[in-house]
Amino acid sequence: MGMFKDLKKTVQQANEAAATAQQIGAQQQGIASGAVPYPADDPAFAPIEGVDLDTYAKVQGLIGKNMIMGPENVENYAAEHGIPKGTWNSVVLGWQERIQKFPQVTERFGVILSQHSM
């Protein structure tokens, strides 16, 4: 009897793993397509200084792509792309903290950044 119980448990675990893999795949496709795959009320994605993650990632990508150098130039470039003037440093620090803390933020940031840095 123990062998069948173990087999049943193994099949159940495999089914759960497959369902999780499908969910992750769907989330990744949503991110890649630009869809919002996270709940709108997820506090990890709350704007910082009025700047949402997608805007921050896009501007970071464009700064790198266009080789914008120097604090003043970066601040001005960010302001031209929707970041309120004088907030760039706090926006960067806030999003970097969340990127380190929340895997869902890290994943979305990476996708959006790569779309705008090439």
Quote the mean pLDDT of the chain.
82
- Cα separation, 25 vs 9, in Å, equals 24
Q: State the pLDDT confidence band at 117, using cuts at 50, 70 and 90.
A: confident
Range(s) of the domain holding residue 89:
38-118
Q: Verify that 32 and 46 share a domain, yes or no.
A: no
Q: Which residues of 18-35 are buried (b: 16+ CB within 10 A; e: fewer)?
A: eeeeeeeeebeeebeeee
pTM: 0.68
3-state secondary structure 69-83: CCHHHHHHHHHHCCC
When divided into structural domains, the chain yields a total of 2
- Whether the per-residue pLDDT at 54 is higher than 90: the answer is yes
Q: State the pLDDT confidence band at 1, using cuts at 50, 70 and 90.
A: low
Backbone angles phi, psi at 51, to 5 degrees: -110, 120
Question: What pLDDT was estimated at residue 17?
Answer: 57
Q: Verify that 50 and 88 share a domain, yes or no.
A: yes
